Structure 1
Amino acid sequence: MFLSILFLWMPILLFIATATEFKINHCDLNTTSHTNNSIFYSNVIQVLDSLASQTTINDQQFINKSTGIRPDIAYGLYLCRADVLANDCHNCLLRARDDINKTCPLSKAAVWWTDTCMLRYANYSMVSVMNSATFFEIYNDVNISEVANEQNQFSLVANNLMVQLSKRASNDMKKMFAYDEVSYNDEKIYGYVHCTPDLSGSDCNKCLQVSVDRLRPYCYGRKGGRLVAASCNVRFEIYKFLQFPTASSDKPGL
């Protein structure tokens, strides 16, 4: 599979993509004023260790924590993909903690995404604050067809799926995610959207709408694409990439 990447507002990127692995990080270089032995850096280590040490994962696959006192408080949170088992979520966080410490050692804010989890820390509270500006998108280089009309038709079906999933996720305050599949000719398109559960329904909808809109110019018409943002993520593929036991989340028909 050949993959291309697009990004904005991301001063440092580490990208690794294979058939089984996806990793990307954002290190905020605008706030690099601390050193390895600073109080804030110590608090970052503590809050990341605390998040990664969670052996009991709640139903929302989401936790936020903070460590320290002003002005050196370190805030952290994680979100695991909704279908991921608790043990896999925990293992993903352990790897993310180690990687983010290595790649963003002097940043006061950072995000680390993989296929199955997201880990964030910052020197400000991130809870209930929607952030769609920090994002990364990746798409499959292979078009669904070489015929322009067929690409356009596929794009319409894929876009409609993602729009409907965004509405469902933002209206479900308990889950804040949605997934489904639709048929296109002899193919199936699988879609998934997910917000961090601390967001309001309105902010979740905004984050997902912006993300779906950003996919449109580059990803639709291709065999897959995804966008990961600090507060939400969206993805579609022509293969089944989730591990849910049923075909779709509870929903009315598309």
Structure 2
Amino acid sequence: MDFHGRDSAWSLLIGQTIALLYLIVVVPALLITFHGQICNAALPESPTTNCNSSSNYKKGSTFESNLNRVFDSLLQGTKQSGFNISVYGESPDKVYGRLQCREDLTVDQCYTCSQYAMTTIQQYCGNAVGGSIWPFHCFLRYESYDFIGQLDTDLGSIYAEDFRGDTGIFIPTDFHSSAQNLLKKLSGEAAPKTTRSALGTALDSFSQTIYGLAQCTRDLSTDDCTQCLSYSINKIFKSYPGYAGVQYWSQSCIVRYEIYPFFNSTAL
């Protein structure tokens, strides 16, 4: 018997089996992981929407006409300054509206986000007499009552990204204190500014860059902006400890931190 030939055959068979297992098990796993990373990176940011469905207006009504005028006014005004308030009509059909873009957006980006917000809120809220939407880059709200300049931390929405899905990321013990300190710093910068907004970065002890945003609606006073941001920062670190990134939106302000750049760095 040719033992050398038999050993060669067994070696070849084992080698082919290992290669086959690699193709069947390992490669698909790698592709799934890689595909997941690509998909996660490419996923569009879905808007958060709240609708005031306490009552509905009728198609062709005076309220609908006033709402359309408010939307047109908001769109044109916000395109130039990044913020606008519009009020139109007489009670009980009076409509109040507010639209604001993130400060790092260009004029064209602000206009695109504003158009998207108006189209989407009408799709989501239908004939509701009030609603608000956060497409992550701009913020639109309309109501049948006067909410302008009023602090409102209700209807908060949180989106958190967990570290447990990112096995390649090492998190130092001071990461979250660094993130919290960054948001507090940005809060102090944002409140007294006319834009009521601040963007910035910080490093943890392992030189991991943390990107942060603190923004209030511009119709808030400095004190109310400070209160809204403080409430939101405390909320996210109390409710969502241990996360790689968290975003919290209320009716009056937004706070966000991430381990990747989510804003235009030239705005810094």
Aligned partner of 1:51 in structure 2 is 74
* Contact in 1 for aligned 2:49/2:132 (Cα 8 Å): yes
Aligned partner of 2:138 in structure 1 is 117
Structure 1 residue 91: Cα displacement: 1.1
Q: 1:214 aligns with which of 215, 230, 235?
A: 235
Aligned partner of 1:23 in structure 2 is 47
Q: Tell me, in whole angstroms, the C-alpha distance in 2 between the residues paired with 1:48 and 1:245.
A: 30
Q: Tell me, in whole angstroms, the C-alpha distance in 2 between the residues paired with 1:199 and 1:27.
A: 22
Superposed structure 1 runs of 4+ greater than 6 Å apart: none
Deviation readout 1:125-173 (Å, 9 max, x if unpaired) = 2221111112211000334988xxx57522211111111211121132x
Aligned partner of 2:217 in structure 1 is 196
1:214 counterpart SS class: helix
TM-score (norm 1): 0.81
- 2:135 maps to a residue whose letter is T
Alignment CA distance shift 1:241-1:210 (3 Å): same
- 1:46 maps to a residue whose letter is R
Question: Could you list the runs of 5+ residues in structure 2 that have no partner in the other structure?
Answer: 1-35
Deviation readout 1:163-184 (Å, 9 max, x if unpaired) = 1211121132x23111211112
Of Structure 1 and Structure 2, which has the larger fraction of its residues in helix? 2
Within 5 A, what are the aligned runs for 1:126-145? 126-143=147-164
1:108 counterpart SS class: strand
Q: Tell me, in whole angstroms, the C-alpha distance in 1 between the residues paired with 2:119 and 2:195.
A: 28
* Contact in 1 for aligned 2:162/2:242 (Cα 8 Å): no
Q: Tell me, in whole angstroms, the C-alpha distance in 2 between the residues paired with 1:152 and 1:32.
A: 49
Name which of structure 1's ranges 204-213 and 178-187 shifts more when overlaid on structure 2. 178-187
Q: Tell me, in whole angstroms, the C-alpha distance in 2 between the residues paired with 1:158 and 1:84.
A: 23
2:184 counterpart SS class: helix
TM-score (norm 2): 0.77
Q: 1:182 aligns with which of 193, 202, 207?
A: 202
- 1:125 maps to a residue whose letter is D
* Contact in 2 for aligned 1:208/1:234 (Cα 8 Å): yes
Q: Confirm whether residue 39 of structure 1 aligns to residue 62 of structure 2.
A: yes
Of Structure 1 and Structure 2, which has the larger fraction of its residues in strand? 1
RMSD: 2.4
Structure 1 residue 218: Cα displacement: 3.7
Alignment CA distance shift 1:145-1:92 (3 Å): closer
Q: 2:118 aligns with which of 83, 86, 97?
A: 97
Q: How many residues align?
A: 227
Structure 1 residue 39: Cα displacement: 1.9
Q: Tell me, in whole angstroms, the C-alpha distance in 2 between the residues paired with 1:209 and 1:153.
A: 20
- 1:155 maps to a residue whose letter is H
Larger Rg belongs to: 2
* Contact in 1 for aligned 2:74/2:97 (Cα 8 Å): yes
Identity of matched residues, %: 28
2:47 counterpart SS class: strand
2:231 counterpart SS class: helix
* Contact in 2 for aligned 1:43/1:68 (Cα 8 Å): yes
